[in-house]
Chain A
Amino acid sequence: MTDLMVMAQIAGRRCALHASDVQSVIELGAITPVPRTPDFITGITALRSQALTVIDCRRALGFPANDWNTDSRAAVVSVDGYSYALVIDAIEDITTSLGEIQQITGGFGKEWSRVATGMIETASGPALLINLAALIAGPDDSFGELSSAA
């Protein structure tokens, strides 16, 4: 199975996103904060006439926001018909995956297991394949536990 993967750094770790899920990579402009929402939702921003929900991936994983520097660029992904801008450390590369998704005994650590589909080998080394829906659901959602149990 070879798929195109977007390689990104999230909270200091190398992660892979399916290239087909990533619509584009944008420079983040002005972000309108959204009061009364969980803190991993940084706000909303506009991409042409489309409104994107900006997700801080570090917080969505349950890490503090200030431990890693982030790029001014964000990956635009679409989940269930809604578009999100993912604030990540950096976009590294686009590469192809090699082989199947694997699970690792002992998991990937509490925060990561919740959002990871599994480990994937790529041309530039192993990476964690991210389950976007789980990532976007944020740290307090039961969805992550379900998917890691599966």
Chain B
Amino acid sequence: MSGTYLGMPAFPAAAASSTQDTRLRANLRYATHTIRDKRARAVAELDDWARLRAAGAAVKDRTLRHLDHYLEQLEEAVTAAGGQVHWAADAAEANAIVARLVRETGEREVVKVKSMATQETGLNRALAEAGISAYETDLAELIVQLGDDLPSHILVPAIHRNRGEIRDIFRERMGRWGRPAPEGLSDAPNELAEAARLHLREKFLNAKVGISGANFMVAETGTLVVVESEGNGRMCLTLPETLISVVGIEKVVPTWQDLEIFLQLLPRSSTAERMNPYTSMWTGTADGDGPRTFHLVLLDNGRTDTLADTVGRQALRCIRCSACLNVCPVYERAGGHAYGSAYPGPIGAILTPQLRGTASELDASLPYASSLCGACYEVCPVAIDIPEVLVHLRERVVQGGKVTRRGVKTVLKPAKGHAAERAAMRAAGFAFGHPGVLRAGQRLAGRTRRLHPRRLPGPGRAWSDTRDLPPVPAESFRDWWRRTRGEERGK
């Protein structure tokens, strides 16, 4: 089943190939521009948007600065309401807990609501290894799952597929997983949605176990919130006997009242709607209505390491709206797969290297997957200063420094690939501090200008692959000044 992010090439290599894919670029360009324009209109409707955004950021900051307090309060409230709370330090532990809970029900099949957290932990694969089939029920996730593909967008995971491709996937693959696609299925979106409805209804009506994430958890009341459009969420959250929700520890908000901020910020930022079609809220279990057993798995998996970085911490404010993806010139051209993680786009570029660390070449390349244009910060509904964190992480990759990994403080060595950059910076620092050296170097460069290559050799090649080297003038500014004004003064 589903593909894997392991062994992904670093961002520049992945992007170099995806930017050649003209169909992908056309699909992405159309999709991102459409949502971007709609979002701007939806946000413009609220004249207190800037104040809502500031309040959203402040609530998240309060939560993060006192996360231990709110997690304990949440656990108490969920337990009092009849739920069971489990804690998972990493992805493997979360997956093992879920697999055990499913096995204890005696079931071998589960239905899933789209969830970034379980995408991050690779839950479907882990369940498959435990002999449990997990069915994605969000239409886009279904397209991705049937196509043995990976999601490429937080909100619309199959954004890289067009209707013709989707029809082909449904025709060829649906039958392997259950009810096949209707005969003569066309590529009209309503027919495709109807095919998905029929295919999945069979799953919903028989499912005994549902697995979800959550958009918000309210510490004060123990309430979980899932925001969605299609109703597959409502199906998974209310029809099964057992519900297991896997949620990142940063998703907690302190009070019921705080939802008034996020339920205004999230829909308008993500789908550009005043409100998404369906929102479900549940507090533990309810008599005779919905699942009889509710498990909440609280997931760390690098979040506490991110929390330990006082600059990078703000990435944990993220409410997964995906507005930053839709405005990003780099995402629009490279596509989501190039980021090699569940979190693509600008937020992925700062979240992934913090959750996973920067040990792999891919993760070390992600802070560079940006033009630093700042559009992502402008649209972020919780005001995450993504460019600030990108620059901070670039410095970490190049310089190394103190980081926390799996809860342990450690000193990161400078990344290997950046040795030439560091040597160049040291040389530049020396030259700028010694005017005679700088002058001699500039004159040498000017006299040899005809011999300069158009592209740099060695480690500089990647840089000059996409840029023209600036021409070196025949005479440096300093020499020109000395020659012209210097003589004047001498008169």
A and B part of one assembly: no
Contact residues of A with B, CB < 8 Å?
none
